[in-house]
Structures are given as C-alpha cells and as structure tokens.
Amino acid sequence: MIPYKTFFNREAAQELQEILGEHDIPSTIVENFSSVTLTFLNNPDDSNVQLLLKQSDIEKANLLLEQLAEVENGDPDENYYLYDFTEEELYEIVANADEWSKYDYDLANKLLTERGKDIDINSLKQSEQKQLESLVYGKSQSMWLVFGYIFALMGGLLGIAIGWNFWKLRKTLPDGTEVYAYKERDRIHGRIIFILGVAVLATIICLKIWHG
C-alpha cells in the first residue's frame, strides 16, 4: 500500500476510511509514520496520520470522492465553516487542492464565483507548480549534511546512515508518484557522505585487523 491522504488527526482519517470501506476499497491508517532511518532527521512530512491505499485503488477512490462531492454540493449547508473564509483563504484552498477534500475545493470555487471573484487559472497553475516543487524537493538539511560529513570522517555508522538517507530516501506524492525526498544537490552530498563513511569505516576495521 502507498500513502493516499495525510491528516493531522486519526478521526479525520477514520471518517474517510469508513467511506471507502462502504464501497469495498480497503485502506490502512498509519500513525506517527517515519522511516526508521529518519529518527534522527527531520521528516520531510509534517503531519502525523496517513491513510494508505493499494496503488490500483487510487483512481477508484478519487472517482468515488468526486461523485460524493457532486452530491453534497447540490445542497450546501450555509453554516459550513468555508462560508466564513475570506477570498484569500478560499483562493488558498483552490490553489492547494490536494490538501483539501473535493467538497471543500468545489465549494471554495462556488463561493468565489458567487462573490464575483475571478479565478485566475494561470496564477493557480503557478501556485500549484510551486507547491509541487516544494513537495518534490522538500527542505534543504544543511546542518544534517555537516553532521553527516563529521560522523563519516569519524567512521561512525551514523554518518553512513545519514548519507544513505539523503542519497536514497524516497517519498510518495498525493497523486501516487514516487520521488526522491531531497534535492539533487543534497543527494549528491548524501552519496559522498555514504561512500566516505564506508571507506573510513573499512579502513578502521582493516587497521584493527592488521594490528590484531
């Protein structure tokens, strides 16, 4: 299974899990997810709960949520919290559709239209592109790269682990695409740290055997 949606609490994830289960789409909830090798690094994702689906069920789940949203949007509740959102906040929803439910996305579009606000497609596409780049490349971890070099030169396994993570760690985007978690520059440093750490550790082991 791969990550499908990310939530800040288990209740929200369970609500979606129940809906999917009613339509024979199995899912799994994972809390406090993180790679074991990332326990000493900043996790590229900030949320705590993920709903996992089979890759083959993602399209089916997307279609189901779209259909449910269409039904719900036919008679929106005027007490719904989005009615209190400012235009800027509604634009934020439209620009970051993957972070919101299909219902919220469609209702935000509807409210903006009712308020006489034009939705600038080009601006939204630019915003979505920036968000995608942020999701793809993550944040630079210069401090941990420095630590990686230090630990690698000391011949420690921690340096090797840091290097491996920066070099090989991958993550899954909301659309199911799997990409590397760090920028190419950081990945190059990660590879150097990993190779350096292995070389230093191997040298230390050989010297100990030699002086046996």
Segment 119-147, tens digit of pLDDT: 655 555 555 555 555 555 555 578 888 99
Cβ contacts of 96 within 8 Å, gap of 6 or more: 127, 128, 131
pLDDT tens column, 49-81: 888 888 888 888 888 877 776 655 556 667 777
pLDDT value at 206 more than 80: yes
pLDDT at 150: 93
The amino acid sitting at 129 is Q
- Check residue 139 and give its pLDDT: 55
> Residues 9, 178, 11, CA angle at the centre, nearest 5°?
10
